[in-house]
Structure formats: C-alpha cells, structure tokens
Copies of this chain bind each other. A is one copy, B any other.
C-alpha cells in the first residue's frame, strides 16, 4: 500500500477491481482527482504490476471471494467498480479460497453462462455481502464518450444508414451475450464481434478486403459499438481507444460510431488526433437517436 490518496469528506473508499490495460489507472486517477480514496484489487495475471504499485492495492484472483470481502471491509470500502479487460478464466485458474469454495456451485453456474452473466453474477454475489456496485458514470463520467464527433470528421448520409443498421443488429443480438461491435458497409454486415474482440475483428475485415472477399469500396463501412440492451451499465462497457481508430483505418472504414454516455473513451484527445490523421469520423450517438 504505497501512495495514500487524500481522505475525502466522508465518502467511503472505492474498491477498484482491476483487469488488464491502462483503464483501471485512468479511473483511479479520476476518482482521486475528485477527492476520493481508492484501493486497487488487482487481479493476478491481468492487472499491470508496475502501474498497480503506485496506488494502495492488494493482489488476488477471481473466485477468491474472501480475499475481496476481507480487504474491502478492512479498508472501509463500500462501493466497488469492475474495470479493465478480464478474459474468461479457465476453471483451474479460479483457485477459490474457502468462501469461494462455498460459493463454487454458483460460480460454476455463472462460468457456463456468457461473459455478461459471469460479471453480473459476481457483482450480485458481492452485493449480498453489503457492497454496492458503482459504474463509471458515477465515479468518472469524464472518461465516457460525449455526444457528437470527436475530431474534425462527421458521418455522411450513407454512413448514418450503416450506423442505424449496425445498432439494430446489436439490439437483435443482445439476448445472446456476444460481442458489442459489428461492422456494416453499404448496408451489408461485414463482421460480428465474438470473443476475439474489436481489434481482431477489424483485422479480419481488413483481410477480407485485401483478399477481395468483401467488394464494397474502401473508405465505406462503419464500426458500430454499443452496450447490450438490458446490460448492467455499471459493468463491462464497450471501449474505444486510439488503437481502435488505427484498426478501423487499416480496415479502410469510413468511421466509428458508439453510444454516447455508455462507451468508454478514456483517451478522447488521442482518439480525436488519431481520427483526424486517418480522416475517419468517430461519433457519439445520442441514445434517443439510436432508438429511432
């Protein structure tokens, strides 16, 4: 436990359960800027040890319910936030502790569900112990995608049709707990994201274009990302970063459309710069526009 954050007026400390990537630290910094104390619950094998070391923290694994409950209670954390990417653990990686063993039947049932059910269930279990799940909206809204374009470019008329079709497809796929992204070009669906993730899906679209399997003209097509309908918006929001813009550019798309307010865009300035360099649009859609 290194750097002590300034004590806040009375808000209890925030438990940040950290997966991989830089996002957990952006969230921690944002919470600290707002005067909140944070404790990082760093997941072994996912969270970056170098960055974790700069914050109050403890290391553990998914499935170790007792680890979380004991440390969070001791640190006076009541609110918890899950952030950063976490692959579905393999069963032997769960290594439950004693309380985890007791909860194992429930953990296993979640394990056979999709990613969404797994996270929701884990959060619900901990809520039974008195913890409160909070979302980025409450803790660091400045990390969420704003409405309208980031950068200089905006979608043209045919792009808007592709965006609408992409959003409709994501809505239809919502009950199946698949990926949160699709690529649509000239009304044709080029890809639906699975466990491979957005970057790999964009690489696939680029490859299909290079090999001539997709014949829609380059510089057409939109990456559309949105949270699932009915998804717990305090968990597992879709995310974009500068590398998403680079992937979309390599796939020769016209742009990226995401839902404003429910998509993480922690590096908005870098995203805008990358978009301008690549001559792509990156636009935040208002929820009421998406429902038309």
Q: Which residues of A contact B (CB under 8 A)?
A: 87-91, 112-115, 165, 168-169, 172-173, 175-178, 186-192, 194-197, 204, 208, 212-215
User: Would you list 28 pairs from A and B whose C-beta atoms are within 8 A, ordered by A residue?
Assistant: A87-B212, A87-B213, A90-B215, A112-B187, A112-B188, A113-B188, A114-B188, A115-B188, A168-B176, A169-B173, A169-B176, A169-B178, A172-B172, A172-B173, A173-B173, A173-B192, A177-B188, A177-B189, A178-B189, A178-B192, A190-B194, A191-B194, A192-B192, A192-B194, A194-B204, A194-B208, A195-B208, A197-B213
Q: How far is the CB of A226 from chain B (nearest CB, A)?
A: 15
Number of copies: 2
Closest B residue by C-beta to A187? B112
* Known A-B contacts A87-B215, A172-B176; A113 and B204 likewise in contact (beta carbons under 8 Å): no
B-chain residues with CB within 8 Å of residue A214 when the two chains form the complex: 88, 195
The docked-state distance in angstroms from the alpha carbon of A191 to that of B195 is: 7
Q: How far is the CB of A199 from chain B (nearest CB, A)?
A: 12
* Closest CB pairs A-B (n = 4): A192-B192, A178-B189, A90-B215, A191-B194
* Known A-B contacts A114-B187, A195-B208; A215 and B169 likewise in contact (beta carbons under 8 Å): no
Instruction: Indicate which residue in B172, B189, B194 contacts A189 across the interface (CB closer than 8 Å).
Output: B194
| Contact in complex: B187, A195 (CB < 8 Å) | no
B-chain residues with CB within 8 Å of residue A189 when the two chains form the complex: 114, 176-178, 194
The docked-state distance in angstroms from the alpha carbon of A165 to that of B90 is: 22
Instruction: Indicate which residue in B91, B175, B190, B196 contacts A195 across the interface (CB closer than 8 Å).
Output: B190
The docked-state distance in angstroms from the alpha carbon of A114 to that of B188 is: 5
